[in-house]
Amino acid sequence: MKKLFKLILILSFFSLISAQTFAAEKVDYLKTDWSFKGLFGKFDRAALQRGYQVYTEVCASCHSMKYLSYRNLSEEGGPEFSEAAAKAIAASFEVTDGPNADGEMFTRPGKLSDKFVMPYDNVKAAQAANGGAYPPDMSVLVKARGGGVDYIYSLLQGYQDPPSGVTLDDGVYYNKYMYGNKIRMAAPLSDGIVEYGDGTNASVEQMSKDVTTFLMWAAEPHLEARHQMGFKAIVYLIILTILVYFSMKKIWSRVESEV
C-alpha cells in the first residue's frame, strides 16, 4: 500500500511539472480565418493554387513533398487544376527514370503519375547544402508540428531582430514562434517575391496563408469528404434518435400506468 501511495505521489509530481512546462511554453500564435475549419469547412481552390505556386517558387528548392503526385493537383478536393494544366506542370520538371535497354538511367519530362521531384538526391546531400540542417519534408508537416496550421502560418511571419542579450551563431535567425526562437532557415518570404496570376497582392501575410492552406490540403487531402461524411452521420443519428423516441413512446403508451 505504501508503494502504491508513493507511486501516485511521484506520478502527480511529474504531471504537475509537465503542466507547468506546457503552460510556460505555450505561445499565442497569429490567428486568421481558415476556410477549411469547422463541420462545413472547405478548401479555397484559389488559395490552394496560389499556395502551390508559393511552394514551387519558394519552398521546393529545399523542401520535398514526397507523398504527393502531380495527378493530385487535378483531383477533386484539391487545387483542382485542369488535367491539361496538371500535365503541363508535371512536364516542366525533369524526372530520372530507367534503366533503359542499355542499362542506363535517363531523364524525361514528368508525368501525372510521378511523385513531386525531390530537391536533393538524398539526406546527406540536403544536409551538406544547408549547413548540416535537414529541411523537413512538407507533405505532412502541418500534422507533425504542434499548433498545426497556426504554427506554420505564424512561423513564416515570425522573423525579427533578436532582443537585446540574445546572440545568434552565423546562419541562425531569430523567430518569435520557433521552438527556442532560433532557426537555421532564413526568412523565405518577402513582399512581392512571387507574382500571382490572379492578381492577388503577394504580401507576406497572404503568401503565408496560401502556402499553409496548401500544406493543410497535402496533409489532409480527404478533409472535405470527411466533413461531408461527418455531417451525414450526424443527420442519420438525429433521424434515428427521433424514430427511436416515437417508437418508445408508442410502445410505452400501451402500458397502463399504475395507480
Dihedral pair phi/psi, residue 115, rounded to 5°: -70, 160
When comparing pLDDT for 16 and 163, which is higher?
Answer: 163
Q: pLDDT at position 91, please? A: 96
Q: 183-234: per-residue pLDDT in tens?
A: 989 999 999 999 999 999 999 999 999 999 999 999 998 887 776 777 677 8
Mean pLDDT across the stretch 234-245? 82
What gap in Å lies between CA 84 and CA 86, rounded to an integer? 5
Q: 82-129: per-residue pLDDT in tens?
A: 999 999 999 999 999 888 888 889 999 999 999 999 999 888 999 888
Dihedral pair phi/psi, residue 157, rounded to 5°: -110, 5
Strand partners of residue 174 = 182
Q: How many CA atoms lie within 13 A of 18 on its CB side?
A: 6
In the CATH scheme, what is the code of domain 25-68+115-247? 1.10.760.10
Q: pLDDT at position 16, please? A: 46
Q: pLDDT at position 130, please? A: 86
- Judge contact between 41 and 223, C-beta under 8 A: yes
Q: 140-169: per-residue pLDDT in tens?
A: 999 988 899 999 999 999 999 999 888 898
Q: pLDDT at position 251, please? A: 79
Predicted TM-score (pTM) above 0.85:
no
What gap in Å lies between CA 49 and CA 70, rounded to an integer? 13
Domain boundaries of the chain, sorted by first residue: 25-68+115-247
Nearest C-alpha neighbor of 89 from the set 53, 40, 127, 126:
53
Q: How many CA atoms lie within 13 A of 4 on its CB side?
A: 1
CA torsion sign for 190, 195, 199, 200 is negative
Mean pLDDT across the stretch 238-252? 81
- Judge contact between 112 and 86, C-beta under 8 A: yes
Residue 238 has pLDDT above 80, yes or no: yes
Q: pLDDT at position 182, please? A: 92
Q: pLDDT at position 100, please? A: 87
Residue 80 has pLDDT above 90, yes or no: yes
Q: pLDDT at position 186, please? A: 92
Compute CA distances 37 → 28, 202, 213, 216, 217, whole Å: 19, 23, 11, 11, 12
- Judge contact between 174 and 161, C-beta under 8 A: yes
Q: 133 falls in which pLDDT band (50, 70, 90)?
A: confident
Cite the DSSP H helix spans in the chain: 2-25, 45-54, 83-91, 123-129, 141-144, 148-157, 204-219, 223-253
